[in-house]
Homo-oligomer: A and B are copies of this chain.
Amino acid sequence: MNNSIEIKCQKQGVRLTDQRKLIAKVMSESEDHPDVDELHKRVNKLDSKISIATVYRTVKLFEEAGILSKHDFKGTKARYEQATHEHHDHLIDINTGEIIEFVNEDIEKLQKKVSEKLGYKLVDHRLELYGSKIKK
């Protein structure tokens, strides 16, 4: 769990620079889904010279290497999370912006079924629920 990102980089022949190591570290330790700006801020606390351009480049590189996942939720900037966990979808709290991950096998199966019925092989999907907390 800890800094598996560095290990993945080595496996994929991704050159490990100081900047990439820091970005990997910060993302490994992040429990949330930071956007590039936020990630840049966190990384800057460890090394104030890292440029936002490098963060953009690295995040893209990591995404292409299957190390990070990018999400474009409605009305927000692109957010990133570690791609280690098993597949899941997201519920976004429309009031706080909080993001909750969930898995639902029934929905997954139905998506596949719908695709096939339409004559398609399901390659990817995006499912986002937007909701507001029910007060008790």
Contact = CB atoms under 8 A, between A and B. Distances in A.
B114 A107 contact: yes
A82 B125 CA distance: 23
7 contacts: A94-B123, A119-B133, A120-B134, A122-B131, A124-B129, A124-B130, A125-B128
Top 5 nearest A-B pairs by Cβ distance?
A: A120-B131, A124-B130, A126-B128, A115-B131, A122-B131
A63 to B, nearest CB: 12
Secondary structure at chain A's binding surface: helix, strand, loop or mixed?
strand
A120 B133 contact: yes
Contacts of A121: 131-134
A34 to B, nearest CB: 20
Contacts of A120: 91, 93, 100, 129, 131-134
Of A102, A116, A120, A130, most buried by chain B (CB within 10 Å of CB) is A120
A100 B102 CA distance: 26
Interface string A72-108: 1010000000000000000101100000101010110
A100 B126 contact: no
B127 A132 contact: no
Contacts of A100: 118, 120
A79 B30 CA distance: 33
B116 A110 contact: no
